[in-house]
Structure formats: C-alpha cells, structure tokens
Chain A
Amino acid sequence: MNAVTNWAQRLSPVVRNIPPSGIRRFFDLVAEMKGVISLGVGEPDFVTPWSIRESCIYSLEKGMTMYTSNYGLLELREAIARNIYGDFGVTYDPRKEIVVTVGVSEAMDLAMRAILSPGDEVIIPEPCYVSYSACTALAGGVPVPVATTAENEFRLTPRQLEAAITPKTKAVIIAYPSNPTGATISGPELAALAKIIEQYDLIVIADEIYDKLTYEGQHTCFSSLPGMRDRTILLNGFSKAYAMTGWRIGYACGNPDFIGAMVKIHQYTMLCAPITAQMAALEALRNGKGAMEEMVKQYNQRRKLMLHGFRQMGLDCFEPRGAFYIFPSIEKTGLNCEEFSEALLKEANVAVVPGTAFGQPGEGHIRCSYAASVKQLNEALERIAGFVSKRLS
C-alpha cells in the first residue's frame, strides 16, 4: 500500500503515446533569452482591426452573453455561407451544413471523431500543422504521413496519394496554403487529386485557414471541385485573415450528415462557440474586408523581402505563395534543422522553428514566420546572414 503510485501508468495509452510537441522544447529555450527576434510566431503581428474589437465591446454592452444555437448564430452562419458562395461559388445551407466552432482546431477534432472508426487510416501530407496526427490518434484513427518534398514545392502529388491508399484509408487531409511551408496548390493539381479521391471513395478534410493569404494565383476551395462538395469537410476560420487568433473562432462546412454528426459531439463537449467571438466574427465578415486586404498587401511585401534575403545568403528557398511562412533549406550549412535552430538562437539571437516540428519530412528546413515588422525582419535577416556565412565557406 505504501508503494508510490505511478500515475503516468494510469493514463490512457493513446494519450501517453502522443509524442511531445517539438515546438515546446524550443519555446522553453527561447523564453529564457533576452533580445531575441522571434520568427517563430504562428500568428499575425497585427492586432484585430478596431471595428471588429469595437463591435465585440458593443455586443457586451448590449448584454449578448448567452448561449447560441449549437450550430452557432444563424446570422453568422448565413454570412459565412454568403462569403463562401461569393468567393468560390460553393453553396452551403446555413441551417444544417455549417457549424461554428472554437477555432479550426476544434473543427479538426470534431471532423476526425465524426468520421473515424478504430483503425481507420488518415493520409496526412507532411510537413504540416502539428495537430493533424494527434487528432487522428485521439479519435482512434491511424495517421499515415506522406512526405512531400521541396522538389515538388511541398505539394501532394497524385502518385504519392495513390501509393499511400490502403483498404483502411478513410480520409485525406488537404491543407493549402500550408503552415509551415507557405506552399500553395493550383486548381488543376487539386483536380488530379480529386480524381483519385473519387476513385477510392475517400473523405477529404480541407483545412483552408490560410486561403485569404494567397499572394500568387487564386486559391481553389477543395469543395468547389466537381463532385467534391459532399465528400469534403471544409474547415476555415477568422484567425489568420482577420488577425483573430485569440478569439478562437472557426467553422466547418459539409454535407448535413457530416455536420450533424460533428454538432452531436460539439453540443456535448463545447455546447457552442463563445457568443462574443461569434459577434466579432460577424463584424469581420461584414466590414473587415478592407483591413484584411491591407494586411495581405503588407504580408506580400514582407514575403518578397524574406525570399530575397534567404536567396542572397546562398540558401535554397522555394517561393512560398501563401500563408506567412517561408521554409528555406539549411542543408548547405551542414547542420540538421534542430542544430541550426539552436545554434542560431544562441549565437545570433533569432528564433525560428526547426522543420521537423512539423513532421520528419521537414528535416533540412526551418520555418520562419514573417508576421513581424519590416524593421525586425531586416534585422533578423542580417543576423541570420552573418550566422550562415560562417558555415557556408
């Protein structure tokens, strides 16, 4: 009876087996240092536009502090439906095909739990956002990573997709523009993937949170492709386009069976997204376009600055066409990405995220966020250039 209880042994093995976040260790390292310029931040450096913040304050003054429908405010769902139709020509019924969630993070979890049975496989192109594998495993599924490569600018190819499919494959995640690579994918390339998806009768979870941050070409919404609407769970939100990360507000769109199942989980685990954030999101859709376009313009200027900067240093870097990340190769320095990032932090006081934090295929790369001021980016580039030059000769 006196033996020390090993509480860790009592944890669910599913949770215990989820590897610790690769970002966490870096966060702890950086937090101890002073004078660091961080290119490691995965959120806008802008604060939420004032009209959105102000409308939230007003909603509180009016006493908007109650629950909403499990699906979210109908007014907001209607605005979301209009917006998607306006941007991509896809129609969703706001009454039963849209659910407002606590960020795309919750929507991703709901989607996985709604569709996966134990042992079902989910194809996940890597490097990718950190939650996909964990969400798959937590829902009882099996993540099947597919390594996209710099040669293909980190786009999933039809051949790679087909090679990863087994009789157990249930779904595939398609997430462009990409965090961490900044990669985008064209309409025809998506159509080629769609053909295989249809052939093998798969479900698609499309994380399009960075869709508005597309700088070259047009973003293609996956569910706008012929035959794809009903087999796609489209995820999006307000965090990136409207600089609203901390509001935790997103949404999922799909056929009524998928969305109904997701709402079933959502109503018992979340009930509804916070009404304050929903009111703010409504204002973002109604009057936020100007502010959003201004931010996009500035990201684009910084993107060019960063691409030029890394190429000047002699590093290989494909042109990121979306999101606010650049993913240069640091292979020429002879360091792996963990070593590079740690040495860069200690010697040059610049924080970046090693590519492997986003899956093993990220090795040889670092993720640099350009959601920082031009002044900071210039200073960071100068410091990185000094660091790199010592290792290239």
Chain B
Amino acid sequence: MTQREKQILEILENDSRTGAEQIAIMLGMDVAEVRAKIAEWEAQKIIIKYNTIVNWEKLGDDTVTAMIEVKIAPQRDAGYDSLAERIYRYPEVKSVLLMSGGYDLAVLIEGQSLKEVAMFVSEKLATIDGVQSTGTHFVLKKYKMGGVILNGKHEDDKRLVITP
C-alpha cells in the first residue's frame, strides 16, 4: 500500500463522512481512483463499517459497562478461538480481546443494570465449558474511547487572529 492510499484510510478513520472528491483533492489524486480504492477495501472488508461515536451518557443513558477477565482452557485444534467465538456471539458482548498475562480474554459487556451484567456473567459466561474463572470490573467513568476524548472541554482557538 502506498503512503497516499494509507492516508485515504486515515482520513476516513478520522471522519468517515469525508467525500471522495475532498479526499482526492487533499491527496492530489484522481477522484475515480479514490472511489475505486474505497470500493475495493469495502469488498475486501478492510473497511469494515462506517461508525459513529456517540456519547450516550450525555443523554442520561445509564448503560452499565463491565470488563470481565476470563481464564479459559485452550481447546485441542482450536486453541482459544472456539471459546472466544462462543463468547463474542452474545450481543451483550461488545468486545473480546485475547490477552497475555494473568488471564486470557478481556471481555467488554454492556447491560442495563449492574444486576443484568452480573447475571449474564454468572449464568452465561461462567457456565461455558472451558471457562475456568471470571473476574468482573465495572466501568465507573469513560475518559477516552477509541482515541477520542469524551467530555473533553471544547478547546477554543486561543491564538491571536492575525499574527506575522
């Protein structure tokens, strides 16, 4: 991949609504070329999805998020993958990461209440064959998600309007 192609992805990752025309101008490329590249990446699932980052908290939404440390026994032929799949198929599970260190999977779960999350862990997660233990950590406050600072103070342009 060329540096310019990489920049197409970076621009989209930062603001997925940036149009192909604008990207082409910013990178000095042909707009047809940019469109073709984006279509190719969409087909190859390199561009998976165009998401919006929503700060639900501001709407008074009190969804509970928890990070669950899960220890599992790797399975013959499948390693950690088949167990990970059994876990990530639940819609309550927002992300699953295989970790080095003291536990194996970091599982991010969202629910309507502490009780709902706790019940999900004890009834669904902990009972899966191969899951050896779970440790639940509730999220108290989100500061930064996916590279974006939430509730960051709006930083006004503090520069003088005209400077040499």
Binding site for B on A (CB under 8 A): 21, 23, 26-27, 30-31, 36, 38, 40-43, 45, 47, 129-131, 179, 297, 301-302, 304-305, 308, 351, 353, 357, 374, 378
Give the docked Cα–Cα distance between A304 and B28 (Å). Answer: 7
Q: Mark B145-164, 1 if CB is under 8 A from A, else 0.
A: 00000000001010111111
CA distance A45 to B28 in the complex (A): 23
Query: What residues on B are CB-neighbors of A305 within 8 Å?
Result: 22, 25-26
29 A-B contacts (beta carbon < 8 Å): A23-B162, A23-B163, A23-B164, A27-B160, A30-B161, A30-B162, A31-B161, A36-B161, A38-B161, A40-B161, A40-B163, A41-B159, A41-B161, A42-B163, A42-B164, A43-B163, A47-B155, A131-B164, A179-B164, A301-B7, A301-B27, A302-B26, A304-B25, A304-B27, A304-B28, A305-B26, A308-B25, A351-B162, A378-B22
Q: Are the C-beta atoms of B7 and A374 separated by less than 8 Å? A: no
A353 touching B26 in the complex, CB below 8 Å, given contacts A297-B7, A301-B7, A301-B11: no
Given A30-B162, A47-B155, A301-B7, 17 additional A-B pairs, CB 8 A: A21-B164, A23-B162, A23-B163, A27-B160, A27-B162, A41-B162, A43-B159, A45-B159, A129-B164, A131-B164, A179-B164, A302-B26, A304-B26, A305-B26, A308-B25, A374-B22, A374-B26
Q: Are A130 and B26 in contact (CB under 8 A)?
A: no
A-side contacts of B26, CB under 8 Å? 301-302, 304-305, 374
Partner of A353, one of B27, B157, B159, B162: B162
| C-alpha spacing A129/B157, complex, angstroms | 23
Residue of A with least CB distance to B164: A130
Give bound CA distance, A130 to B163, whole Å.
Answer: 10
A38 pairs with B25, CB closer than 8 A: no
Show the binding face of B for A, using Cβ within 8 Å: 7, 11, 22, 25-28, 155, 157, 159-164
Given the known inter-chain contacts A297-B7, A301-B7, please indicate yes or no for A40 contacting B162, CB distance below 8 A.
yes
